[in-house]
Chains A and B, each alone.
Chain A
Protein backbone atom coordinates (compact mmCIF):
# COMPACT_ATOMS: atom_id res chain seq x y z
CA UNK A 1 0.00 0.00 0.00
CA UNK A 2 2.81 2.33 0.86
CA UNK A 3 4.27 1.63 -2.57
CA UNK A 4 0.95 2.43 -4.19
CA UNK A 5 0.76 5.84 -2.54
CA UNK A 6 4.36 6.74 -3.22
CA UNK A 7 4.72 9.52 -5.71
CA UNK A 8 1.02 10.25 -5.67
CA UNK A 9 0.71 13.65 -7.33
CA UNK A 10 -2.78 14.90 -6.61
CA UNK A 11 -2.29 18.15 -8.51
CA UNK A 12 -1.24 16.29 -11.66
CA UNK A 13 -4.08 13.86 -11.17
CA UNK A 14 -6.58 16.72 -10.91
CA UNK A 15 -5.15 18.40 -14.01
CA UNK A 16 -5.42 15.12 -15.84
CA UNK A 17 -9.02 14.77 -14.79
CA UNK A 18 -10.27 18.20 -15.72
CA UNK A 19 -8.16 18.76 -18.81
CA UNK A 20 -9.07 17.42 -22.23
CA UNK A 21 -5.49 16.25 -22.51
CA UNK A 22 -3.59 15.21 -19.43
CA UNK A 23 -0.37 16.55 -20.94
CA UNK A 24 2.48 14.85 -22.75
CA UNK A 25 2.33 11.96 -20.32
CA UNK A 26 -1.09 11.03 -21.68
CA UNK A 27 0.07 11.11 -25.29
CA UNK A 28 2.57 8.38 -24.54
CA UNK A 29 -0.22 5.81 -24.56
CA UNK A 30 -1.85 5.48 -27.99
CA UNK A 31 -5.48 6.57 -28.16
CA UNK A 32 -8.10 3.85 -28.00
CA UNK A 33 -11.60 4.40 -29.32
CA UNK A 34 -14.00 1.54 -28.66
CA UNK A 35 -12.41 0.41 -25.38
CA UNK A 36 -12.65 3.95 -24.04
CA UNK A 37 -16.32 4.15 -24.94
CA UNK A 38 -17.02 0.81 -23.26
CA UNK A 39 -15.29 1.96 -20.08
CA UNK A 40 -17.26 5.20 -20.11
CA UNK A 41 -20.53 3.34 -20.68
CA UNK A 42 -19.83 0.78 -17.93
CA UNK A 43 -18.87 3.48 -15.44
CA UNK A 44 -22.03 5.42 -16.33
CA UNK A 45 -24.28 2.37 -15.95
CA UNK A 46 -22.75 1.50 -12.59
CA UNK A 47 -23.20 5.07 -11.36
CA UNK A 48 -26.83 5.06 -12.50
CA UNK A 49 -27.45 1.90 -10.46
CA UNK A 50 -25.50 3.34 -7.53
CA UNK A 51 -27.83 6.35 -7.41
CA UNK A 52 -30.84 4.06 -6.97
CA UNK A 53 -29.07 1.91 -4.40
CA UNK A 54 -28.18 5.06 -2.49
CA UNK A 55 -31.76 6.33 -2.74
CA UNK A 56 -33.03 2.99 -1.44
CA UNK A 57 -30.58 3.00 1.48
CA UNK A 58 -31.50 6.57 2.46
CA UNK A 59 -35.25 6.07 2.02
CA UNK A 60 -35.36 2.88 4.08
CA UNK A 61 -33.29 4.58 6.75
CA UNK A 62 -35.85 7.36 6.94
CA UNK A 63 -38.67 4.81 6.89
CA UNK A 64 -37.19 2.92 9.84
CA UNK A 65 -36.78 6.15 11.81
CA UNK A 66 -40.30 7.31 10.96
CA UNK A 67 -41.95 4.04 11.94
CA UNK A 68 -39.93 3.86 15.09
CA UNK A 69 -40.71 7.46 16.09
CA UNK A 70 -44.41 7.22 15.21
CA UNK A 71 -45.01 4.06 17.15
CA UNK A 72 -42.84 5.06 20.06
CA UNK A 73 -44.63 8.40 20.40
CA UNK A 74 -47.72 6.99 22.06
CA UNK A 75 -49.02 4.01 24.01
CA UNK A 76 -52.51 2.51 24.23
CA UNK A 77 -54.32 1.25 27.30
CA UNK A 78 -57.01 -1.31 26.63
CA UNK A 79 -59.62 -1.79 29.38
CA UNK A 80 -61.57 -5.05 29.25
CA UNK A 81 -63.82 -5.65 32.19
CA UNK A 82 -67.36 -6.81 32.91
CA UNK A 83 -69.90 -4.18 31.87
CA UNK A 84 -70.66 -3.27 35.49
CA UNK A 85 -66.98 -2.58 36.27
CA UNK A 86 -65.85 -1.16 32.95
CA UNK A 87 -66.60 2.50 33.67
CA UNK A 88 -64.95 2.37 37.09
CA UNK A 89 -61.79 0.73 35.74
CA UNK A 90 -61.62 3.25 32.90
CA UNK A 91 -61.75 6.12 35.38
CA UNK A 92 -59.11 4.46 37.57
CA UNK A 93 -56.86 3.95 34.55
CA UNK A 94 -57.34 7.58 33.46
CA UNK A 95 -56.43 8.87 36.88
CA UNK A 96 -53.31 6.66 36.98
CA UNK A 97 -52.29 7.89 33.54
CA UNK A 98 -52.78 11.53 34.49
CA UNK A 99 -50.26 11.12 37.28
CA UNK A 100 -47.75 9.07 35.30
CA UNK A 101 -44.46 10.91 34.65
CA UNK A 102 -43.63 11.34 30.96
CA UNK A 103 -47.21 10.67 29.86
CA UNK A 104 -49.32 13.36 28.22
CA UNK A 105 -53.05 13.94 28.54
CA UNK A 106 -54.85 10.56 28.12
CA UNK A 107 -57.74 10.48 25.69
CA UNK A 108 -60.56 7.95 25.83
CA UNK A 109 -61.53 7.04 22.28
CA UNK A 110 -65.18 8.05 21.73
CA UNK A 111 -67.65 5.52 20.25
CA UNK A 112 -67.39 7.17 16.80
CA UNK A 113 -63.64 6.49 16.60
CA UNK A 114 -64.17 2.98 17.89
CA UNK A 115 -66.70 2.45 15.15
CA UNK A 116 -64.18 3.69 12.55
CA UNK A 117 -61.56 1.26 13.84
CA UNK A 118 -63.99 -1.65 13.64
CA UNK A 119 -65.53 -0.68 10.34
CA UNK A 120 -63.07 -2.63 8.16
CA UNK A 121 -64.12 -5.85 9.91
CA UNK A 122 -67.85 -5.33 10.71
CA UNK A 123 -68.89 -2.87 8.01
CA UNK A 124 -70.67 0.49 8.47
CA UNK A 125 -73.56 1.21 10.81
CA UNK A 126 -72.45 -1.32 13.35
CA UNK A 127 -73.89 -0.55 16.81
CA UNK A 128 -70.67 -0.54 18.75
CA UNK A 129 -72.54 0.06 21.98
CA UNK A 130 -74.16 -3.36 21.63
CA UNK A 131 -70.78 -5.10 21.45
CA UNK A 132 -68.59 -6.02 24.39
CA UNK A 133 -65.61 -4.17 22.98
CA UNK A 134 -62.91 -2.91 25.31
CA UNK A 135 -62.41 0.79 25.94
CA UNK A 136 -59.26 2.26 24.39
CA UNK A 137 -57.24 5.10 25.92
CA UNK A 138 -54.62 6.83 23.74
CA UNK A 139 -51.70 8.26 25.74
CA UNK A 140 -49.01 10.43 24.13
CA UNK A 141 -45.49 9.88 25.46
CA UNK A 142 -44.09 13.31 26.19
CA UNK A 143 -40.99 12.67 28.31
CA UNK A 144 -37.95 10.42 28.49
CA UNK A 145 -38.88 9.51 32.05
CA UNK A 146 -41.92 7.53 30.87
CA UNK A 147 -41.68 4.08 32.51
CA UNK A 148 -43.84 1.61 30.62
CA UNK A 149 -43.04 -1.29 32.92
CA UNK A 150 -43.89 0.70 36.07
CA UNK A 151 -47.16 1.86 34.52
CA UNK A 152 -48.02 -1.70 33.56
CA UNK A 153 -47.56 -2.84 37.18
CA UNK A 154 -49.68 0.03 38.56
CA UNK A 155 -52.51 -0.70 36.14
CA UNK A 156 -52.34 -4.38 36.98
CA UNK A 157 -52.65 -3.57 40.67
CA UNK A 158 -55.37 -0.90 40.54
CA UNK A 159 -57.32 -1.65 37.34
CA UNK A 160 -56.90 -5.37 36.58
CA UNK A 161 -58.84 -5.09 33.33
CA UNK A 162 -56.45 -2.44 31.92
CA UNK A 163 -53.63 -3.64 29.70
CA UNK A 164 -50.81 -1.41 28.45
CA UNK A 165 -49.71 -1.82 24.82
CA UNK A 166 -46.54 0.13 24.04
CA UNK A 167 -46.54 -1.12 20.38
CA UNK A 168 -43.26 -2.99 20.79
CA UNK A 169 -44.79 -6.07 19.23
CA UNK A 170 -45.66 -4.08 16.08
CA UNK A 171 -42.70 -1.83 16.02
CA UNK A 172 -39.92 -4.38 16.22
CA UNK A 173 -40.60 -6.33 12.97
CA UNK A 174 -41.35 -3.14 11.01
CA UNK A 175 -38.14 -1.45 12.08
CA UNK A 176 -36.25 -4.67 11.52
CA UNK A 177 -37.62 -4.95 7.98
CA UNK A 178 -36.71 -1.36 7.21
CA UNK A 179 -33.21 -1.83 8.59
CA UNK A 180 -32.73 -4.93 6.44
CA UNK A 181 -33.80 -2.98 3.38
CA UNK A 182 -31.30 -0.29 4.28
CA UNK A 183 -28.58 -2.93 4.63
CA UNK A 184 -29.59 -4.30 1.23
CA UNK A 185 -29.04 -0.85 -0.27
CA UNK A 186 -25.62 -0.53 1.35
CA UNK A 187 -24.57 -4.03 0.21
CA UNK A 188 -25.71 -3.09 -3.30
CA UNK A 189 -23.51 0.00 -3.19
CA UNK A 190 -20.51 -2.06 -2.08
CA UNK A 191 -21.15 -4.63 -4.82
CA UNK A 192 -21.45 -1.89 -7.43
CA UNK A 193 -18.14 -0.40 -6.28
CA UNK A 194 -16.48 -3.84 -6.37
CA UNK A 195 -17.90 -4.61 -9.82
CA UNK A 196 -16.68 -1.21 -11.04
CA UNK A 197 -13.21 -1.92 -9.68
CA UNK A 198 -13.18 -5.32 -11.40
CA UNK A 199 -14.39 -3.83 -14.67
CA UNK A 200 -11.78 -1.05 -14.65
CA UNK A 201 -9.03 -3.48 -13.65
CA UNK A 202 -9.90 -5.74 -16.59
CA UNK A 203 -10.00 -2.79 -19.00
CA UNK A 204 -6.70 -1.45 -17.64
CA UNK A 205 -5.06 -4.88 -17.92
CA UNK A 206 -6.22 -5.17 -21.51
CA UNK A 207 -4.82 -1.72 -22.27
CA UNK A 208 -1.52 -2.56 -20.58
CA UNK A 209 -1.23 -5.85 -22.49
CA UNK A 210 -2.01 -4.11 -25.78
CA UNK A 211 0.67 -1.51 -25.08
CA UNK A 212 3.49 -3.87 -24.17
CA UNK A 213 5.83 -2.23 -26.66
CA UNK A 214 5.11 1.23 -25.30
CA UNK A 215 5.91 0.03 -21.80
CA UNK A 216 9.09 -1.72 -22.95
CA UNK A 217 10.33 1.38 -24.81
CA UNK A 218 9.59 3.62 -21.85
CA UNK A 219 11.46 1.39 -19.44
CA UNK A 220 14.47 1.27 -21.77
CA UNK A 221 14.70 5.06 -21.99
CA UNK A 222 14.65 5.44 -18.22
CA UNK A 223 11.00 5.78 -17.22
CA UNK A 224 10.19 4.84 -13.66
CA UNK A 225 7.33 2.46 -12.94
CA UNK A 226 5.14 5.21 -11.52
CA UNK A 227 5.67 7.40 -14.57
CA UNK A 228 4.49 4.62 -16.84
CA UNK A 229 1.65 3.61 -14.53
CA UNK A 230 0.43 7.20 -14.25
CA UNK A 231 0.06 7.46 -18.03
CA UNK A 232 -2.55 4.70 -17.81
CA UNK A 233 -3.94 5.73 -14.42
CA UNK A 234 -4.81 9.25 -15.57
CA UNK A 235 -6.66 7.90 -18.57
CA UNK A 236 -8.75 5.36 -16.69
CA UNK A 237 -9.41 7.66 -13.76
CA UNK A 238 -10.77 10.28 -16.12
CA UNK A 239 -12.94 7.76 -17.94
CA UNK A 240 -14.34 6.44 -14.66
CA UNK A 241 -15.03 9.97 -13.41
CA UNK A 242 -16.61 11.27 -16.60
CA UNK A 243 -18.70 8.14 -17.22
CA UNK A 244 -19.95 7.98 -13.67
CA UNK A 245 -20.71 11.72 -13.61
CA UNK A 246 -23.00 11.24 -16.61
CA UNK A 247 -24.60 8.16 -15.03
CA UNK A 248 -25.09 10.01 -11.75
CA UNK A 249 -26.82 12.95 -13.42
CA UNK A 250 -29.16 10.60 -15.31
CA UNK A 251 -29.84 8.63 -12.13
CA UNK A 252 -30.65 11.79 -10.18
CA UNK A 253 -33.00 12.94 -12.92
CA UNK A 254 -34.73 9.57 -12.87
CA UNK A 255 -35.15 9.77 -9.09
CA UNK A 256 -36.41 13.34 -9.35
CA UNK A 257 -39.22 12.39 -11.72
CA UNK A 258 -40.42 9.48 -9.58
CA UNK A 259 -44.08 9.89 -8.42
CA UNK A 260 -44.49 12.34 -5.59
CA UNK A 261 -43.85 10.59 -2.29
CA UNK A 262 -46.80 11.95 -0.35
CA UNK A 263 -49.21 11.38 -3.23
CA UNK A 264 -48.13 7.79 -3.74
CA UNK A 265 -48.46 6.89 -0.07
CA UNK A 266 -48.07 3.37 1.17
CA UNK A 267 -44.94 1.40 1.89
CA UNK A 268 -42.68 3.15 -0.59
CA UNK A 269 -43.41 6.69 0.52
CA UNK A 270 -40.35 8.87 0.44
CA UNK A 271 -38.21 6.80 -1.99
CA UNK A 272 -35.68 9.32 -3.27
CA UNK A 273 -33.56 12.08 -1.81
CA UNK A 274 -34.64 14.85 0.50
CA UNK A 275 -32.94 18.14 1.34
CA UNK A 276 -29.18 17.79 1.75
CA UNK A 277 -29.56 14.16 0.70
CA UNK A 278 -29.49 15.38 -2.92
CA UNK A 279 -25.80 16.18 -2.44
CA UNK A 280 -24.90 12.61 -1.55
CA UNK A 281 -25.08 11.18 -5.10
CA UNK A 282 -22.52 13.80 -6.13
CA UNK A 283 -19.94 11.74 -4.25
CA UNK A 284 -20.44 8.83 -6.67
CA UNK A 285 -18.20 10.24 -9.47
CA UNK A 286 -15.51 11.02 -6.90
CA UNK A 287 -15.66 7.51 -5.50
CA UNK A 288 -15.68 6.08 -9.05
CA UNK A 289 -12.60 8.16 -9.88
CA UNK A 290 -10.86 6.87 -6.74
CA UNK A 291 -11.82 3.29 -7.62
CA UNK A 292 -10.49 3.82 -11.17
CA UNK A 293 -7.31 5.38 -9.84
CA UNK A 294 -6.40 2.61 -7.41
CA UNK A 295 -7.60 -0.29 -9.61
CA UNK A 296 -5.53 0.92 -12.58
CA UNK A 297 -2.54 1.74 -10.43
CA UNK A 298 -2.59 -1.71 -8.87
CA UNK A 299 -2.93 -3.44 -12.26
CA UNK A 300 -0.21 -1.30 -13.86
CA UNK A 301 2.34 -1.73 -11.08
CA UNK A 302 1.69 -5.47 -10.97
CA UNK A 303 2.22 -5.81 -14.71
CA UNK A 304 5.29 -3.56 -14.70
CA UNK A 305 6.90 -5.84 -12.15
CA UNK A 306 7.28 -8.40 -14.94
CA UNK A 307 9.07 -5.92 -17.23
CA UNK A 308 12.71 -5.29 -16.45
Chain B
Protein backbone atom coordinates (compact mmCIF):
# COMPACT_ATOMS: atom_id res chain seq x y z
CA UNK B 1 0.00 0.00 0.00
CA UNK B 2 2.47 2.64 1.20
CA UNK B 3 6.10 1.55 1.31
CA UNK B 4 9.00 3.74 2.44
CA UNK B 5 12.63 2.71 2.26
CA UNK B 6 15.21 5.03 3.87
CA UNK B 7 13.07 8.01 2.95
CA UNK B 8 14.35 11.45 3.82
CA UNK B 9 12.73 14.82 3.39
CA UNK B 10 13.82 18.41 3.87
CA UNK B 11 11.86 21.52 2.97
CA UNK B 12 13.27 23.72 0.18
CA UNK B 13 16.49 21.74 -0.04
CA UNK B 14 17.29 22.50 3.63
CA UNK B 15 18.26 20.15 6.43
CA UNK B 16 16.33 16.88 6.52
CA UNK B 17 13.27 16.96 8.76
CA UNK B 18 12.80 13.25 8.22
CA UNK B 19 15.60 10.80 7.52
CA UNK B 20 16.03 7.08 7.06
CA UNK B 21 12.32 6.42 7.33
CA UNK B 22 11.33 2.86 6.59
CA UNK B 23 7.67 2.05 6.83
CA UNK B 24 5.14 -0.34 5.42
CA UNK B 25 1.48 0.37 6.01
CA UNK B 26 -0.22 -2.98 6.38
CA UNK B 27 -3.57 -3.32 4.59
CA UNK B 28 -6.57 -3.37 6.89
CA UNK B 29 -4.55 -2.22 9.90
CA UNK B 30 -5.23 0.74 12.19
CA UNK B 31 -2.09 2.84 12.60
CA UNK B 32 -1.27 5.76 14.85
CA UNK B 33 1.54 8.15 14.10
CA UNK B 34 2.62 10.10 17.12
CA UNK B 35 5.36 12.41 18.20
CA UNK B 36 5.85 15.92 19.53
CA UNK B 37 4.68 18.97 17.63
CA UNK B 38 7.02 19.79 14.75
CA UNK B 39 8.43 16.27 14.63
CA UNK B 40 7.21 15.72 11.06
CA UNK B 41 3.91 13.88 11.43
CA UNK B 42 2.09 16.12 8.95
CA UNK B 43 5.07 15.98 6.59
CA UNK B 44 5.00 12.18 6.60
CA UNK B 45 1.27 12.18 5.86
CA UNK B 46 1.74 14.69 3.03
CA UNK B 47 4.32 12.33 1.54
CA UNK B 48 1.70 9.58 1.62
CA UNK B 49 -0.72 11.48 -0.64
CA UNK B 50 2.07 12.91 -2.81
CA UNK B 51 1.61 16.46 -1.64
CA UNK B 52 5.36 16.32 -1.07
CA UNK B 53 8.02 14.18 -2.69
CA UNK B 54 10.82 12.53 -0.71
CA UNK B 55 14.24 14.08 -1.15
CA UNK B 56 15.96 10.80 -0.40
CA UNK B 57 15.17 7.08 -0.48
CA UNK B 58 12.36 5.27 -2.26
CA UNK B 59 8.68 5.55 -1.65
CA UNK B 60 5.84 3.75 -3.39
CA UNK B 61 2.09 4.15 -3.14
CA UNK B 62 -0.05 1.25 -4.35
CA UNK B 63 2.99 -0.12 -6.15
CA UNK B 64 3.92 3.10 -7.95
CA UNK B 65 7.12 5.02 -7.30
CA UNK B 66 6.06 8.47 -6.12
CA UNK B 67 8.69 10.32 -8.15
CA UNK B 68 7.43 8.72 -11.37
CA UNK B 69 3.86 9.88 -10.97
CA UNK B 70 2.47 12.42 -13.44
CA UNK B 71 0.06 15.08 -12.23
CA UNK B 72 -2.88 12.98 -13.41
CA UNK B 73 -1.42 9.94 -11.61
CA UNK B 74 -1.24 12.00 -8.42
CA UNK B 75 -4.91 12.94 -8.86
CA UNK B 76 -5.75 9.26 -9.29
CA UNK B 77 -3.70 8.36 -6.19
CA UNK B 78 -5.64 10.91 -4.13
CA UNK B 79 -8.87 9.19 -5.10
CA UNK B 80 -7.48 6.06 -3.44
CA UNK B 81 -6.41 7.92 -0.32
CA UNK B 82 -8.96 9.78 1.76
CA UNK B 83 -7.52 12.58 3.85
CA UNK B 84 -8.94 14.37 6.89
CA UNK B 85 -7.03 17.49 7.92
CA UNK B 86 -6.90 19.13 11.31
CA UNK B 87 -8.47 22.21 9.73
CA UNK B 88 -10.45 20.80 6.83
CA UNK B 89 -11.14 23.16 3.95
CA UNK B 90 -14.40 23.19 2.05
CA UNK B 91 -15.87 25.14 -0.81
CA UNK B 92 -17.71 27.58 1.39
CA UNK B 93 -20.35 28.45 -1.23
CA UNK B 94 -21.49 24.84 -1.60
CA UNK B 95 -23.78 22.99 0.80
CA UNK B 96 -22.39 20.29 3.08
CA UNK B 97 -23.88 17.53 0.92
CA UNK B 98 -22.33 19.05 -2.21
CA UNK B 99 -18.96 19.31 -0.50
CA UNK B 100 -19.14 15.71 0.65
CA UNK B 101 -20.05 14.61 -2.89
CA UNK B 102 -17.33 16.77 -4.47
CA UNK B 103 -14.82 13.91 -4.99
CA UNK B 104 -17.49 12.12 -7.05
CA UNK B 105 -18.18 15.28 -9.05
CA UNK B 106 -14.55 15.90 -9.93
CA UNK B 107 -14.07 12.21 -10.73
CA UNK B 108 -16.97 12.46 -13.17
CA UNK B 109 -18.92 9.78 -11.33
CA UNK B 110 -22.68 9.96 -10.72
CA UNK B 111 -23.87 10.85 -7.24
CA UNK B 112 -26.07 8.18 -5.69
CA UNK B 113 -28.35 10.33 -3.54
CA UNK B 114 -29.41 7.37 -1.40
CA UNK B 115 -25.81 6.47 -0.63
CA UNK B 116 -25.01 10.13 0.04
CA UNK B 117 -27.86 10.35 2.54
CA UNK B 118 -26.63 7.16 4.23
CA UNK B 119 -23.12 8.55 4.44
CA UNK B 120 -24.32 11.83 5.95
CA UNK B 121 -26.42 9.81 8.39
CA UNK B 122 -23.38 7.73 9.33
CA UNK B 123 -21.45 10.87 10.31
CA UNK B 124 -24.63 12.29 11.90
CA UNK B 125 -24.83 15.23 9.53
CA UNK B 126 -28.10 14.47 7.75
CA UNK B 127 -29.84 17.53 9.24
CA UNK B 128 -26.98 19.75 8.06
CA UNK B 129 -26.97 18.43 4.49
CA UNK B 130 -28.15 21.74 3.02
CA UNK B 131 -26.21 23.95 5.42
CA UNK B 132 -23.15 25.89 4.31
CA UNK B 133 -19.79 24.93 5.86
CA UNK B 134 -19.32 28.21 7.79
CA UNK B 135 -22.37 27.33 9.88
CA UNK B 136 -20.87 24.01 11.07
CA UNK B 137 -19.20 23.47 14.42
CA UNK B 138 -15.64 22.14 14.64
CA UNK B 139 -16.80 18.58 15.25
CA UNK B 140 -19.29 18.76 12.41
CA UNK B 141 -16.61 20.05 10.04
CA UNK B 142 -14.37 17.11 10.96
CA UNK B 143 -17.15 14.62 10.38
CA UNK B 144 -18.03 16.28 7.07
CA UNK B 145 -14.35 16.03 6.11
CA UNK B 146 -14.37 12.34 7.05
CA UNK B 147 -17.48 11.73 4.94
CA UNK B 148 -15.82 13.51 1.99
CA UNK B 149 -12.65 11.48 2.52
CA UNK B 150 -14.46 8.14 2.30
CA UNK B 151 -17.11 8.81 -0.34
CA UNK B 152 -14.93 7.31 -3.07
CA UNK B 153 -14.41 4.27 -0.83
CA UNK B 154 -10.62 4.67 -0.67
CA UNK B 155 -8.37 1.86 0.46
CA UNK B 156 -6.45 4.12 2.81
CA UNK B 157 -7.73 6.87 5.13
CA UNK B 158 -5.28 9.39 6.56
CA UNK B 159 -6.22 11.73 9.38
CA UNK B 160 -3.91 14.53 10.43
CA UNK B 161 -4.61 15.60 14.02
CA UNK B 162 -8.34 15.19 13.35
CA UNK B 163 -9.24 15.82 16.97
CA UNK B 164 -6.85 18.71 17.51
CA UNK B 165 -9.66 21.25 17.82
CA UNK B 166 -12.26 19.01 19.44
CA UNK B 167 -13.27 18.25 23.02
CA UNK B 168 -12.90 14.73 24.36
CA UNK B 169 -16.46 13.59 23.69
CA UNK B 170 -16.38 14.87 20.11
CA UNK B 171 -12.91 13.35 19.62
CA UNK B 172 -14.13 9.92 20.66
CA UNK B 173 -17.14 10.20 18.35
CA UNK B 174 -14.81 10.87 15.46
CA UNK B 175 -12.46 8.06 16.49
CA UNK B 176 -15.43 5.74 16.68
CA UNK B 177 -16.14 6.45 13.02
CA UNK B 178 -12.52 5.75 12.10
CA UNK B 179 -12.66 2.48 14.04
CA UNK B 180 -15.80 1.51 12.14
CA UNK B 181 -14.04 2.28 8.88
CA UNK B 182 -11.09 0.11 9.91
CA UNK B 183 -13.41 -2.73 10.89
CA UNK B 184 -14.96 -2.53 7.44
CA UNK B 185 -11.53 -3.28 5.99
CA UNK B 186 -10.02 0.14 5.42
CA UNK B 187 -6.45 0.90 6.34
CA UNK B 188 -6.33 3.89 8.69
CA UNK B 189 -3.41 6.10 9.68
CA UNK B 190 -4.09 8.75 12.31
CA UNK B 191 -1.46 11.33 13.22
CA UNK B 192 -1.91 12.64 16.75
CA UNK B 193 0.12 13.79 19.70
CA UNK B 194 -2.69 12.88 22.11
CA UNK B 195 -1.57 9.70 23.92
CA UNK B 196 -4.85 9.44 25.83
CA UNK B 197 -6.70 9.27 22.55
CA UNK B 198 -4.39 6.48 21.39
CA UNK B 199 -4.89 4.54 24.59
CA UNK B 200 -8.67 4.92 24.44
CA UNK B 201 -8.75 3.80 20.86
CA UNK B 202 -6.45 0.84 21.47
CA UNK B 203 -8.96 -0.36 23.99
CA UNK B 204 -11.38 -0.88 21.12
CA UNK B 205 -9.23 -1.86 18.17
CA UNK B 206 -5.86 -3.41 17.49
CA UNK B 207 -3.62 -0.55 16.48
CA UNK B 208 0.00 -0.19 15.54
CA UNK B 209 1.65 2.91 17.00
CA UNK B 210 4.54 4.57 15.19
CA UNK B 211 6.50 7.32 16.85
CA UNK B 212 8.56 9.99 15.15
CA UNK B 213 11.39 11.49 17.11
CA UNK B 214 14.62 13.06 16.02
CA UNK B 215 13.57 12.72 12.39
CA UNK B 216 13.37 8.93 12.63
CA UNK B 217 10.47 6.52 12.86
CA UNK B 218 10.14 3.85 15.59
CA UNK B 219 7.53 1.33 16.52
CA UNK B 220 6.19 2.36 19.92
CA UNK B 221 6.06 -0.32 22.54
CA UNK B 222 4.46 -0.75 25.91
CA UNK B 223 5.51 2.72 27.05
CA UNK B 224 2.21 4.07 25.84
Give the distance to chain A from B174, nearest Cβ to Cβ, in Å: 19
Size category of the A interface is 20 to 34
Check B106–A27 contact: CB distance below 8 A. Answer: no
**Known contacts A222-B75, A223-B106, A224-B71; A217/B89 CB under 8 A:** yes
A174 within 8 Å of B (CB atoms): no
A220 within 8 Å of B (CB atoms): yes
Of the listed stretches B23-31, B76-84, B112-120, B208-216, name the one at the interface; the rest are far from the partner chain. B76-84
Chain A 208-246 residues near chain B, CB threshold 8 A: 213-214, 216-225, 227-228
Report the separation of the CA atoms of residues A219 and B91 in the bound assembly, to the nearest whole angstrom: 12
Chain B 67-113 residues near chain A, CB threshold 8 A: 71-72, 74-79, 83, 89-94, 98, 102-103, 105-108
**Known contacts A214-B91, A308-B51; A222/B105 CB under 8 A:** no
Check A224–B75 contact: CB distance below 8 A. Answer: yes
Report the separation of the CA atoms of residues A28 and B102 in the bound assembly, to the nearest whole angstrom: 9
Check B75–A223 contact: CB distance below 8 A. Answer: yes
Chain B 31-77 residues near chain A, CB threshold 8 A: 49-52, 71-72, 74-77
Check A27–B98 contact: CB distance below 8 A. Answer: yes
- Point out the residues of chain B lying under 8 angstroms from A222, CB to CB: 75-79, 103, 106-107, 152
B141 within 8 Å of A (CB atoms): no
B186 within 8 Å of A (CB atoms): no
A30 within 8 Å of B (CB atoms): yes
Check B89–A28 contact: CB distance below 8 A. Answer: no
Size category of the B interface is 20 to 34
Closest B-chain residue to A211, C-beta based?
A: B91
A25 within 8 Å of B (CB atoms): yes
A24 within 8 Å of B (CB atoms): yes
- Point out the residues of chain B lying under 8 angstroms from A308, CB to CB: 50-52, 74
A150 within 8 Å of B (CB atoms): no
Check B71–A225 contact: CB distance below 8 A. Answer: yes
Q: CB within 8 A of A220: which of B51, B76, B152?
A: B51
Check A225–B72 contact: CB distance below 8 A. Answer: yes
- Point out the residues of chain B lying under 8 angstroms from A216, CB to CB: 89
A31 within 8 Å of B (CB atoms): yes
- Point out the residues of chain A lying under 8 angstroms from B77, CB to CB: 222
- Point out the residues of chain B lying under 8 angstroms from A30, CB to CB: 91-93
Binding site for A on B (CB under 8 A): 49-52, 71-72, 74-79, 83, 89-94, 98, 102-103, 105-108, 148, 152
Binding site for B on A (CB under 8 A): 24-25, 27-28, 30-31, 213-214, 216-225, 227-228, 308
A-B contact pairs, 17 of them (CB 8 A): A24-B105, A25-B105, A27-B98, A28-B91, A28-B102, A28-B106, A30-B92, A30-B93, A214-B91, A217-B89, A220-B89, A222-B75, A222-B76, A222-B107, A224-B106, A225-B72, A227-B108
